[in-house]
Amino acid sequence: MNKPPLRFHENGKFRVLMISDMHAGENCSPKLMQGIEALVAESRPDFVMIGGDQILEKEKDEIRPYFCRILEPILKRGLPWAAVFGNHDRECGIDIAEEMAIYETIDGFLGEAGPEELSGVGNYIIPILSADGSRVAYRLWAMDSHRGHENTNQAFHLPQDTLISLPHTEDLIINQSMPYPDQVAWYYNTSCRLEQEEGRKTPGIMFFHIMLPEFLYVRQNPEQTNAVGMQRERLEATLFNSGLFTFALQRGDIKGFFAGHDHLNTLQGEYCGVTLALDGAIGYNMSAHDDMRGGRIIDLYETGEVKTRMLYLIDLLGKDAFRDPDYFEGGSKYNIRVL
């Protein structure tokens, strides 16, 4: 399949739209496609990153046509796109390696399974060329953040009853996972190799589904991190820190980390000069508030700068952005109506 390279515009700008947590189950709300259409039409991105938890409850032979229908606003415009896997993608009925193989047959997909020796599926890099096409000016890094502490116990050879979720850890729900140390080593070694080959350090941003522990600093220190956005639930991370943030900080090439997973959080801030931002959620078949549902715009510049903000469906669609209760029985606490 032909995959033309991504390239900055003549003005030195490139726009990414991140859409996370579609949770498109068997009884998928048609408002999901309406919402994606509104986000794409308004933001006019150069590239779309799907941030995990995209498909649930589908047989293998149903996934491709179903996913094409969900992504029709992206596909009809011929936009390049990619995806990382979330914790719930392991529950859609097939192995995520098989799901990745299906994605690879869909037009515009630029992701890949990644090195077989690494933990997880979907560890890869997408380059963005400079406006004149002479060099790689930016890189989009993707990593699999796995599922939950059950998988972490297995990966680290711990008994399944090992207590990871400690009772006295403020502001955390310790039931999640993260990129594993071998993935961190892959990033670090690849970053070093590319700098040596190219004679320069190329800026990049990184995507995964579950946030790093450093995201908590934005919540705990809003003034010092220039925090913006909303938080309506505890941040979900893990106590196990694989060191990805500090490795990236030492390398100096990653300008921002972007995660999904937390449906009711859209916090963003900066720590040590690196952007940390949550994407919120786009889905209608799961816990989400109508005034928070949307996607994240990420503007990249050839100078290495990154700027980001949330784009909310309620600002684009008004009352049409409200969830139909018939499509999700999540209780009255999710019936948020704000105009």
Q: Give pLDDT, residue 118.
A: 93
Asked if residue 337 has pLDDT above 60, the reply is: no
pLDDT tens digit sequence for 167-191: 666 666 667 788 889 999 999 999 9
Residues 6+ apart with CB under 8 A from 237: 172, 173, 174, 176, 178, 210, 211, 212, 213, 215, 216
Classified by CATH at the fold level, domain 6-324 comes out as Purple Acid Phosphatase; chain A, domain 2 (3.60.21)
**176 and 151 Cβ atoms separated by less than 8 Å:** no
Indicate the pTM of the whole model.
0.91
**pLDDT over 90, % of the chain:** 50
**273 and 297 Cβ atoms separated by less than 8 Å:** no
Instruction: For residues 64-72, give the mean pLDDT.
Output: 86
User: Which band of pLDDT confidence, cut at 50, 70 and 90, is reported for residue 235?
Assistant: confident
User: Which band of pLDDT confidence, cut at 50, 70 and 90, is reported for residue 339?
Assistant: very low
Structure tokens at 63: 């996934």
pLDDT tens digit sequence for 275-306: 999 998 888 777 777 888 899 999 999 999 99
Residue linked to tokens 């030492």: 250
User: Which band of pLDDT confidence, cut at 50, 70 and 90, is reported for residue 193?
Assistant: very high
Q: Where are the domains of the chain?
A: 6-324
Residue linked to tokens 């000069």: 273
Q: Which residue has the higher pLDDT, 81 or 56?
A: 81
Q: Which of 147, 215, 214 is nearest to 175 (CA)?
A: 147
